Structure 1
Amino acid sequence: MITAKNIALGTRLLPMSFEVSAGEIVHLLGPNGSGKSTLLELLSGLVEGQGRVCIDGEDIQNIDSQSLARQRAYLSQQQKPAFAIGVYQYLSLSLSALKGADLAAVENAVATVCDTLAIADKLNRNTDQLSGGEWQRVRLAGVCLQIWPDINPDGRLLILDEPATALDIAQQSAMYKMVRMLADRGIAVVMSNHDLNRTLSDADKVILLKNGHCVSQGKPKDIMDVVTLEKVYGAQLRKVEIEGHTLILTQ
């Protein structure tokens, strides 16, 4: 169980509280500047603000950095590679906190993650030879391996800040599949998202943000009504039913 109690950071994020259960996928929705990245930074423990974030009842500010790295993985918004490094070597760095992990289990985990994200053929490249979408999927593979249950029984939380950035439709589908695979293994996932329809189909819970405060939170079908979303985004929207699926479209 992940709990956030009255977390806040100046005017960037006003006090709010929520819980994330094991295996639950939570999407943060809201326009740019609404506080999504700030919330994720506070949740990661890399930025200290007001309130408390706890993993299984323990305040993350009381957890040493190596132990915290075993319990949660955080993908920040896309960054260019700071230096050239082999992709396989980069992924190995994500496993640095997992001392004593079984080698065969690690190889199986790497194969599963890389196959799912369609980057198995990129392992012999350098990071400076990758396209934006390839680099984003390599980064995603790294954080997934960091808390992969077969090699890290301490993994609890995956934090993703706009993970769909630079991904095409097929790559986004692979990313959402990867997220669901981890959730099905008991990993809690909190991620920012801009695709309302993906949130409708993939999220277990939604937190709507605007101007640094929480507008609403709950199940997608309960809170993602057109009136609320129009107030949050300042855009005209409509909800339609197509072949049994609910979609939200712009006017």
Structure 2
Amino acid sequence: MPDISRYGHSTNLIGIATHCLASQVFNENPLPLHIAGTRESASGLFEYLNKQTSRLDCGRIFQDYMYDVFGCEADPALPAGRSGPHRYRNSYLRLIQDWGLDSNNAQGAVFKGWVESRFGLFPSYHKQRLTSFNNVYWTSYIAEKMHSRYHNNCIYMQLDLLYEFCQWFIEHFHYPAARHKTLFRGVNSLAEDDIIQAAGPDKVLRFNSLVSFTDRPSIASEFGSYILAVEVPMVKLVFFNDLLPHHALRGESEYLVIGGDYRVKVLL
């Protein structure tokens, strides 16, 4: 069977065909993306954000909203004199934190599952390369992404709001006129399975459904012998370092990006 990373779901929640979204053509000529119904379901939040002038205040407002609606911080402490286990409550902050530790853990599978559900993209790697629906690695990915432990707090809805807040933030503050952001990724090898086009000075690589970048070449160089420079569409940013006042990925200036076929420059 052909590599499943060449394909995706026939439906998604963004109104653009999955094969188009993943294509090099889209990544070089992006269109606006929105997850259907997300801003409408939190219209009060976005109306209030529209009245703000401070980026920091907007980040705080968003995190306060997520705490009020989903209880996204740690569970409240048990009353004095009581003891017992805390109920695990998953949150977008836990996913961001655990992604930074290991993108191939169960939380990483949930994150990739969200991309699959909303954007239609199959992951190409989780612990091992995923090339077929009929192997143990795909089965393991499915089991991890659907584990009930990680779906007890509307986690996909939380990630929908995170993505839409990220896009709102970009539109209003960060790069209102820019369509792309130059980002970098360190790798130890250029796996042939990832190369879509190798002719000419640049290469076209297929990245995983969700992938980490940084905006600092010096940090990218710590993760591999090759530094890949990529022009990433702003509409494919899910999260970046300055988006929220409190999160666990500050040290590496990390960006979380929706994958697909990207033209890259290889910096040695």
Taking structure 1 as the reference length, what is the TM-score of the superposition? 0.26
Structure in which a larger fraction of residues adopt strand: 1
Per the normalisation by structure 2, the TM-score is: 0.25
> Comparing both chains, which one has the higher relative contact order based on Cα–Cα distances under 8 Å and sequence gaps of 6 or more?
1
